[in-house]
Amino acid sequence: MNELDPSFTSLPLDALADAALARAKQLGASHADVRIERHRTAQTRLRDGKLAGASDSTDLGISIRVVHHGSWGFAAGITLTAEAARTLADQAVAIAQVSAPLNPRAVELAEEPVHTGTWVSSYEVNPFHVPDRDRVARLVELSQSLASQAGVSHTQASLMAVQENTFFANLAGTRTTQQRVRVHPEFTATNVSDSGFSSMRTIAPPAGRGWEYLTGTGWDFDAEIAGMGDHLAANVRAASVTAGPTDLVIDPSNLFLTIHESVAHGTELDRALGYEAAYAGTSFATFDQLGTLRYGSEVMNVTGDRVTEHGLATVGWDDEGVAAQTFDIIRDGTLVGYQLNRQMAHEKGLGRSNGCAFADSAGHIPLQRMPNVSLQPGTDNLSLDDLIGRVENGLYVVGDKSWSIDMQRFNFQFTGQRFLVIKDGRLTGEQVCDAAYQGTTTDFWGSMEAVGGPDTYLLAGAFNCGKGQPGQVAAVSHGAPACLFRGVNVLNTVEEGQA
């Protein structure tokens, strides 16, 4: 089992928390919590097999959040002394006092049991324990394999690795220490010809894993890269798509992003209540529709969780000290739950929070942020071939690319890396280009006829989900099986752009 980084646990974590919490209580705070966080991020970039850039940065700080006479107060700093911690408590209470006249109602938090302990994410080799030369050598090796393939004019490679340590304590007695490790490798091939540029990148998702992810555990990068030249060549010679209603089999390497934008953001309760509006809007899935809104077809079952192994949003406890859990968001096509923090859970009478509070550093206050939000596989155990076999004329969509969605998470458009032609229940080996699928959230998910079984399931995701002002970034996973959608509107992006 992995252990907590001793260079973090050797910090005076308990002493700092004791100083800040005692001062907040002395000043009359009814709730106070302290976070001490250290985030280390390393990035390595190659172009055409040569090192193009590298960085290794660390962010370390302490924050205290209070509820004082029904108002929030927050303060953060970088000085890790007891005196500085007490000063932050003074500042947080002062901010709560200034904010009090603006509060529409007193802040109250849903109850949560007291928790103590440590938690470390699931990985085999901490990437920060791997020498830089070995990291670069593996990226060079895979880049050279990609560059050797016919039609590949240029290559790019990158690796982002993160180690996130968080200590949390509150007045109720919760004290937890956590460590999360995640990596995001990516490789891109570009073809340059008389007809222009075409590119293809790996569909390997970022993962809550360590260095082993690049050497064969969880993903076979050698095998994927060995086939990228053929995929790129097929894309270069692809004909432009014929627009119109089309049956789609969508691979989870593409569908995860549609889940993220149209389901995961759409079921954040702060958006549904209108509290979050300035950054990417609100949500059509308003609170009055809980339990009645038909989000999709009856085969649509979506859960939120903080517990999935290797999930990017997986933790032991969220940033309000709420234990990780799993909960239903959509059941049999109907909206049955939202993502919550402790304040909204109490305000709307929904019982305990489901652990969806997160801040991307000690310098930021926790927001309601999405957990891992995943579409569950079907019980019929359908294979990818089974889904494709149901399609007379259609497309199989692989890999994410560009996207667009409106400010209520309702009207959207998504492209993909590869649109493969399905004819008479089989893949023809041909691709089409200039394609995007478009719809409204409820119509699109309502057109989902079948979901694949567990063998088609992939846990994908992204490092860079943005929200809030000041802006915060969170890593999140979305699992999905391959799925069959009927009569989805497919656009020809060249024709649309010229119209």
Q: How does pLDDT run across 402-450, given as a tens digit for each residue? A: 999 999 999 999 999 999 999 999 999 999 999 999 999 999 999 999 9
Mean pLDDT of the 304-311 span: 98
- The DSSP 8-state label assigned to residue 127 in this structure reads G
What distances in angstroms separate CA 134 from CA 51, 141, 254, 349, one per listed residue? 13, 10, 31, 53
Partners of 44 in the β-ladder: 54, 159
Q: CB neighbours of 309 closer than 8 A, spacing ≥ 6?
A: 122, 208
d(Cα 288, Cα 374) in Å, to the nearest integer? 23
pLDDT tens profile 325-384? 999 999 999 999 999 999 999 999 999 999 999 999 999 999 999 999 999 999 999 999
Helix or strand holding residue 339 (H, E) = none
> Which regions of 194-344 does DSSP assign to beta strands (E)?
196-201, 239-240, 244-250, 302-305, 326-331, 334-335
Structural domains in the chain?
6-236 (3.30.2290.10), 239-498 (no CATH)
Residue 495 has a pLDDT of 79
pLDDT interval class at 499 (50, 70, 90): very low
Mean pLDDT of the 3-14 span: 97
Mean pLDDT of the 143-150 span: 97
Residue 210 has a pLDDT of 98
Residue 498 has a pLDDT of 46
d(Cα 332, Cα 8) in Å, to the nearest integer? 45
484, burial (CB in 10 Å: exposed 0-12, middle 13-18, buried 19+): buried
What distances in angstroms separate CA 429 from CA 222, 396, 422, one per listed residue? 22, 11, 9
d(Cα 293, Cα 272) in Å, to the nearest integer? 13
Task: Give the chain's mean pLDDT.
Answer: 96
- Whether 497 has a pLDDT exceeding 80, the answer reads no
Residue 232 has a pLDDT of 95
Residue 1 has a pLDDT of 64
**Closest C-alpha among 363, 377, 236 to residue 303:** 377
